[in-house]
């Protein structure tokens, strides 16, 4: 075990009120309309994948298997001014007009229910609270368990289950109010954080490092050659992954690309867009629980080296409730001081067991 550390988990039940109605009318031309028609023919009900059960599964596991050093506190709502640091006034007007309504916002995946706008305000505000917790020294690290997620939300558009860009709002707040000059954002969700990239595309004071499954996987952005522009050229670092990538590839990318990038950038604060749909249960990539834990260890080392350990994680994707809850739990254990495990090559442990079992069975008498 490493030294015990305090970890603050921020959770507010108001985020559970975001619960789009799967029976609402779809916008014309939506792909999901065709998908729902197919599923209906198979007598399978279409469900909105980003649902409250994601967070209750995490909290239930944490209650069953508490982690020493982890404390749970409430969240808070973001103000309009805080949101306006990364979103346009027109966009905010559009979203706030949907308060207490059910509607589809765009042509891919994003919908709202009557409680969604407040949930999104709380999600962004709780991300801010996580940053304040570590910047004020109240906790070694923090994890904001929030929804709807945020990293697909663009300055003028809600997209990919996301209304407000939570991590971007938190980063902008850290710069505007908490004395942070340079912020490192690490996004290890299986999907590229297109919204975060757009927001900080030309910002020299935010280093955005994104590991994701390569295009044409949704949202299709995040090319290797996308590196930012103007004064921000070089502060966008994309690492597109093959569909079969797992622990070894992720850790190699962190150790050989992120670590030197952070050494060059020297951040005052590290934020992680912590999505867990890179786990094999979400059928996108093959990161394991041990892989997420080891990745956390690498990020912790960077935070300890450059910014006095200041590290805040903000939940993004992850839709299988078993893998999501266990992945978050494995990350929290490392944040709280557990030694990060070294992941094994998938399948090797089972083969070794089989070798031991069959050893000698086929040798000559």
Contact between 197 and 211 under an 8 Å Cβ cutoff? The reply is no
**What does the pLDDT read at residue 48?**
72
For tokens 């004020």, name the residue: 136
Question: Average pLDDT per run of 10 along the chain, which is 365 residues long?
Answer: 82 95 55 53 64 96 98 98 98 95 75 94 98 97 98 96 97 97 98 98 98 96 97 97 94 97 98 97 94 98 97 97 98 97 78 87 78
Active-site residue list? 152
For the record, the structure tokens of 67 come out as: 């982690």
Rg (the chain; Cα; Å): 21
pTM: 0.91
The whole-number pLDDT of residue 361 equals 85
The pLDDT assigned to 45 comes to 52
Residue 137 neighbours by CB distance under 10 Å: 10
Question: Where does 242-318 show beta strands of DSSP type E?
Answer: 269-274, 311-315
208 closest CA partner among 190, 226, 220: 226
Here the tokens at position 92 are 């905010």
Separate counts of helices (H) and strands (E) for the chain: 12, 10
Residue 354 sits at φ, ψ, to 5 deg, of -65, -40
Q: What is the pLDDT of residue 1?
A: 40
Q: Check residue 353 and give its pLDDT.
A: 87
Strand-strand pairing, 103-104 and 206-213: unpaired
How confident is the model at residue 364, as a pLDDT? 76
Q: Interior CA angle at 223 toward 91 and 293, to 5°?
A: 90
Res 151: pLDDT: 98
CA distance 281 to 262: 31
């Amino acid at each position: 075990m490493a030294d015990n550390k305090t970890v603050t988990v921020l959770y507010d039940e108001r985020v559970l009120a975001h619960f789009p109605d799967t029976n609402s009318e779809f916008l014309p031309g939506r792909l999901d309309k065709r998908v729902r028609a197919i599923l209906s023919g198979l007598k399978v009900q279409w469900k909105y994948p980003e649902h409250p059960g994601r967070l209750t599964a995490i909290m239930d596991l944490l209650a069953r298997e508490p982690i020493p050093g982890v404390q749970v506190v409430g969240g808070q709502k973001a103000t309009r001014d805080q949101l306006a640091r990364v979103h346009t006034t027109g966009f905010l007007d559009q979203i706030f007009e949907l308060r207490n309504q059910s509607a589809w916002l765009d042509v891919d995946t994003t919908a709202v229910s009557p409680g969604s706008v407040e949930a999104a305000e709380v999600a962004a505000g709780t991300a801010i609270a996580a940053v304040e917790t570590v910047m004020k020294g109240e906790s070694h690290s923090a994890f904001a368990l929030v929804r709807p997620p945020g990293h697909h939300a663009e300055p003028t558009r809600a997209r990919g289950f996301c209304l407000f860009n939570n991590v971007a709002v938190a980063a902008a707040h850290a710069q505007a109010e908490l004395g942070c000059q340079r912020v490192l954002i690490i996004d290890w969700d299986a999907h590229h954080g297109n919204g975060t990239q757009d927001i900080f595309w030309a910002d020299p004071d935010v280093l955005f490092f994104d590991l994701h499954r390569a295009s044409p996987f949704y949202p299709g952005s995040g090319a290797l050659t996308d590196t930012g522009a103007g004064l921000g050229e070089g502060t966008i670092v994309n690492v597109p992954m093959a569909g079969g990538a797992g622990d070894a590839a992720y850790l190699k990318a962190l150790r050989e690309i992120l670590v030197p990038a952070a050494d060059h950038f020297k951040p005052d604060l590290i934020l992680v867009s912590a999505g867990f749909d890179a786990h094999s249960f979400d059928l996108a990539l093959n990161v394991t629980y041990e892989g997420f834990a080891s990745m956390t260890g690498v990020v912790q080392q960077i935070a300890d080296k450059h910014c006095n350990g200041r590290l805040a994680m903000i939940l993004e994707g992850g839709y299988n409730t078993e893998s999501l809850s266990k992945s978050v739990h494995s990350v929290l254990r490392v944040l709280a001081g557990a030694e990060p495990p070294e992941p094994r090559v998938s399948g090797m442990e089972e083969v070794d067991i089989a070798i031991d079992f069959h050893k000698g069975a086929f040798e000559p008498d």
